[in-house]
Structure 1
Amino acid sequence: MLLDSEENARTWIGVNWGPGAVADLDRLAELLRAESTRQNLVSPRSLQHVWVRHFADSAQLVDIAPAGQELWLDIGSGAGFPGLVVAVLDRSRKVMLVEQRKLRVDWLRSAIRELGLHNCEVIQQRVETMATVEAAVISARAFAPLRRTLVLAGRFSTANTCWLLPKGATVFQELETLPRKLRGMFHVKRSRTDAEAGIIIGAGEAR
């Protein structure tokens, strides 16, 4: 089922993660709208469709990811998607958000405190300069073209890493830009929130 309405998206999250998760995301929506009067976190239009465009779009990655408590590394977190939603829906997993812009970092840390996300931290650095960590899951949404993302984030991957990289309508074209040895690691799953978009899913070390 395509999650193409606010009601459907909200209901889907409630069925899969419970009323507590819905309440937390309601609070996150309030925080997001308030902060968006001070800085351009997301497009104003997307605030009218926050459950589809940001919450369900992020939650579908949790639905795909392998279970476990190991590190989920979210590169270029921006307004916190998917990282904040991941931390809300899976409080047993450590989530690390990487963002270099100070205003965004201040917002992310404030949201983490407001939501009591003790499993989540923000690293204020460029991906290129941060210390290497081993991640069980690596996500990046609206960060960089696929090939560039793998160049920057490959050193965080291991043989067991799951890659979850949401892309828009050019998802298959981006996959074709990879060298053949990397292309075979990845496949595309259609997005549950946008019929024209897809998620590039991979497993393994991309270095």
Structure 2
Amino acid sequence: MEREELLRKGLKELGFTPSASILSQFDKYLYELKKWNRAYNLTALKSDEDIIIKHFLDSLLYLKVIPEGQWSICDIGSGAGFPGIPMAIVRPEFNIVLIEPSRKKSAFLRHIKRTLPLLNAEVMESRIEDVKGRLFDVAVTRALFSVMDLIKKAGHILRKNGFFVLNKGPKFEDEISHLPGDVKFEVISVTLPCTPLQRNLIKVKIL
């Protein structure tokens, strides 16, 4: 399937209108990611199809848990911009801070912010533990944190009534079975568009 057709199909499956501007931004993102990847090794995925499905569309699954509105969101360990940049493209009303400790990856994120351009995104070159004086409504991550590790490292950046969203594979049940009583969670199972793959989005609130 041609890459634009694949992206259109995936966006429609997720309930988004594949406008010309959204398709153009994703196309530029794909081009720049592949170009920078040759020098900076930003992703192990090489084919257009894999990047579109397993990075772009997978990132948009988080929006199944985050309703529309004026949310302040941080993407912890953003890497090459997932899930934060795809979310920023389709939800311009969100304010998204991409938190990434690697200098090379942060340089790429700043380049993408300028190139697309994304007025609703900000890049912060920092470890999440070192972020002070900023509070967010929602924190998302694709980094390999356990739920408890994420709470310990990043609990200080959530506003009251804020929540985390993590994307987990099939072994998530063992992890959430050990959570303490003051941690409330909800699991939303969704199918990754254009695949039979199941993803488990876990929404976590600390009481």
Aligned AA (1:106)? A
Residue 191 in 1 paired to residue 193 in 2? Answer: no
Q: Secondary structure at the match of 1:77?
A: coil
Residue 13 in 1 paired to residue 14 in 2? Answer: no
Measure, in 2, the Cα distance between the counterparts of 1:200 and 1:36.
30
Measure, in 1, the Cα distance between the counterparts of 2:72 and 2:122.
11
Measure, in 2, the Cα distance between the counterparts of 1:103 and 1:177.
36
Residue 81 in 1 paired to residue 79 in 2? Answer: no
Q: Secondary structure at the match of 1:43?
A: coil
Aligned AA (1:198)? N
Report how far residue 110 of structure 1 moved: 0.2
- TM norm structure 1: 0.86
Measure, in 1, the Cα distance between the counterparts of 2:147 and 2:156.
15
* Percent of aligned positions that are identical: 27
Measure, in 2, the Cα distance between the counterparts of 1:155 and 1:53.
30
Measure, in 2, the Cα distance between the counterparts of 1:12 and 1:28.
16
- TM norm structure 2: 0.86
Aligned AA (1:12)? G
Partner of 2:59: 58
Task: Kindly indicate whether the alpha-carbon contact (under 8 Å) linking 1:6 and 1:49 is maintained by their aligned counterparts in 2.
Answer: no
Q: Where does the alignment leave 5 or more consecutive residues of structure 1 unmatched?
A: none
Partner of 1:128: 129
Q: Secondary structure at the match of 1:161?
A: strand
- Deviation larger for 30-39 or 19-28: 19-28
Q: Secondary structure at the match of 1:72?
A: strand
Residue 137 in 1 paired to residue 135 in 2? Answer: no
- Change in Cα spacing, 1:49 to 1:66, as seen in structure 2 (3 Å) is same
- Deviation larger for 88-97 or 167-176: 167-176
Displaced runs of 4+ in structure 1, greater than 2 A?
Answer: 5-10, 44-48, 194-197
- Deviation larger for 136-145 or 14-23: 14-23
Measure, in 2, the Cα distance between the counterparts of 1:78 and 1:22.
22
Aligned AA (2:17)? W
Partner of 1:157: 158
Task: Kindly indicate whether the alpha-carbon contact (under 8 Å) linking 1:6 and 1:52 is maintained by their aligned counterparts in 2.
Answer: no
Q: Secondary structure at the match of 1:38?
A: helix
Partner of 1:147: 148
Q: Secondary structure at the match of 1:160?
A: strand
Residues 68-95 of structure 1: per-residue CA shift (max 9 Å, x gap): 2231111110110001111111112110
Measure, in 2, the Cα distance between the counterparts of 1:164 and 1:63.
10
Q: Secondary structure at the match of 2:16?
A: helix
Aligned AA (2:157)? F
Measure, in 2, the Cα distance between the counterparts of 1:9 and 1:198.
22
Task: Kindly indicate whether the alpha-carbon contact (under 8 Å) linking 2:7 and 2:23 is maintained by their aligned counterparts in 1.
Answer: no
Measure, in 2, the Cα distance between the counterparts of 1:151 and 1:75.
13
Please give the root-mean-square deviation of Cα atoms over the aligned residues, in Å: 2.2
Measure, in 1, the Cα distance between the counterparts of 2:31 and 2:189.
29
Residue 33 in 1 paired to residue 34 in 2? Answer: yes
